[in-house]
Chains A and B, each alone.
Chain A
Amino acid sequence: MTRKRSSGSQVVATVSRYLCLTLLLVFTLGPLVQTVVISFVSTLPRENVGRGAWTLLNYRHIFADPDLVASLGNSLIYVSLNVIVTLLVALPAAYALSRHSFVGDRHLLLLLLTFRITPPVVLSLPVFLLFAQLNLLNSPVGIALIHCLFNVPIAIWILSSFITAIPRAFDETAFLDGHSTAGFFVKFLMPAIAPGIGVTCFFCFIFSWVEVVFARILTSTGGKPITMAIQSLFGFTTDIGLVMAMTVLSLVPGVVLIFFVRNHVSRGFEIRA
């Protein structure tokens, strides 16, 4: 009797679980499906293609426009630079924070996180002036550096939780074998936390890729990233199909990265007591 009732309620639970998950799927992917569909539709009246007809024209227009192609390249360059710089400074800091206790260590991560949560609008004007003096305007280097402001804290957080998961004996063995600190990092630590480095790259990549406020003020006259290139497509008659095709292209790198880190993405957020 009891068994029967519990298996009945189990069926209800499973059905409602999958119903909820289906709703979630529709809500999350619906807007993106629409975007992909419109990117294959001609949305402006044209001579030989009717409005609303299926076409590859939007994508052909992108690749025929050197500015749009260049913007894709610009974005990829500064995002990659940012990931490299962030990893270079965050890895030793994360190691120090998870292995050693030193003066101010408990305040440090919070202090760093303060930069992550400071709104970019607040800093936009002085950052623009500072970068004008440093000759870093309209250059991917400038955006890559300023994006470290919010990526370095996140990277330290994720990396240190992966490093903490490795037993200390691991380091001690390597040092006893006579490896230098640098050698230990490259030959032992980085392979051991490879998934953590993957997750860190993923989050640094997306947070840099999606950011617009700094990207806009630092590229007012040149070196525009893909986000700004899309913004510039809006005008008196906006070709929504073209905008959507550009949006779809802007999603490709992120989606590819998601696929690579899919099994590790939820592992990097342990918080040390």
Chain B
Amino acid sequence: MHGQHNKAWLMVLPAVLLLGVFGVVPLIAVLNYSFFDIFTLQDRFWVGGEWYQALIRSPDFYAALARSLLFTLLVVLIQFPLGIGIALLLPKGTRTSSFFLMVLAVPLVVPWNMIPIIWLNLISEDFGFVGQFLVWLDWPFDYKFNPFHTWALILIIDTWHWVGLVAILAYSGVSSIPGSYFHAAAIDGASRWTVFRFIQLPKLHAVMMMALLLRVMDSLMIYTEAFAINAGGPEGATSFLSLELGEQIRGFDYGPAAARSVVYVLIVLLVAWAFQTSLRRHNSADEDRV
């Protein structure tokens, strides 16, 4: 297969070109803008690293970073046990599991800006089932002014939206395990936990790493849903990284926004690199075992 290298590159080329033009060109533009004070795109001044200095000295940036990291941590801690649990509950290869996979996929097809609309309607005191129930309970749920309630609401919405993806990916990992493994474990008298720990979890590792990468990045940079719920409020309690960036863009602060974007892309690259290192280490450990 040695002569195939060039031909293989030709096959990859269209994808690389497409992403190069529409991905790399904008990234270079962002990098370029980040060194300028921009009034209009024709009327701009070189400021060097000024925006970067301002950003890394700004306590707001670290506060937003901390909020985003906490949000991502909570998302992972909630959605992964839940998603893997759901995948384990589903009976393998039956109509029931096919039905539940369909149900789990439904929140994924809801346009992102409608997810907050649906949920705000659900908890509204006028029409919402949950809203009316809370009124009946006499429980003062106030996502507008109570930061804990805002956080809880966004976490519930995000879980509703994405736990299906984690479950579908986990199910795809679990269902790729041959049945003979389970028979062998049953003969050895292995407990449910042992089966999970030594048969299912290792098989899940790779696909869950992928799910982790997607969930970590999407929750770290959550924008649409969080903005629509409370626009970062109350008093900035849910002002995540992307919301701060969105605010700068809306305020036409293009120079600082570009510098911020570059920093965010660096965070993305860092996470992607950590992910690759971890996956590769796992793979080479696998090869050693064989």
Q: Do A and B bind each other?
A: yes
B268 touches A118 (CB 8 A): yes
| A residues less than 8 Å from B86 (CB atoms) | 20, 24
- Taking A34-B118, A153-B19 as known contacts, 15 extra A-B pairs with beta carbons closer than 8 A to each other, sorted by chain A number, are A96-B8, A100-B7, A103-B5, A117-B214, A127-B22, A130-B26, A149-B22, A206-B108, A210-B112, A211-B112, A212-B111, A259-B102, A263-B98, A267-B172, A269-B172
Measured in the bound complex, the distance between the Cα atoms of B117 and A30 in whole Å is: 14
| A residues less than 8 Å from B33 (CB atoms) | 125-126
| A residues less than 8 Å from B207 (CB atoms) | 269-271
Residues 55-93 of chain B, each 1 if its beta carbon lies under 8 Å from chain A, else 0: 000000000000000000000000000000110011000
**Count of A residues near B, CB < 8 Å?**
91
Number of A-B residue pairs having CB atoms within 8 Å of each other in the complex: 260
| B residues less than 8 Å from A247 (CB atoms) | 110-111, 114, 117-118
| B residues less than 8 Å from A263 (CB atoms) | 98
B160 touches A43 (CB 8 A): no
A122 touches B14 (CB 8 A): no
Closest to B113 in A: A212
21 residue pairs from A and B, CB less than 8 Å apart = A21-B96, A38-B127, A89-B14, A108-B16, A118-B27, A122-B265, A123-B26, A123-B30, A125-B257, A156-B15, A206-B108, A209-B109, A212-B224, A227-B114, A230-B113, A230-B114, A230-B117, A240-B127, A254-B110, A267-B172, A271-B209
Residue with the highest number of chain B CB atoms closer than 10 Å, among A31, A123, A127, A149: A31
Per CB-CB distance, the 3 closest pairs between chain A and chain B, nearest first, are A254-B109, A126-B29, A119-B221
User: B234 at the A/B interface (Cβ < 8 Å)?
Assistant: no
User: B232 at the A/B interface (Cβ < 8 Å)?
Assistant: no
Residues of A whose CB lies within 8 Å of any CB of B are: 17, 20-21, 24-25, 27-32, 34-35, 38, 41, 43, 85, 88-90, 92-93, 95-97, 99-103, 105, 108, 110, 112-127, 129-130, 145-146, 148-149, 152-153, 156-157, 206, 209-213, 226-227, 230-231, 240, 243-244, 247, 250-251, 253-255, 257-259, 262-263, 265-271, 273
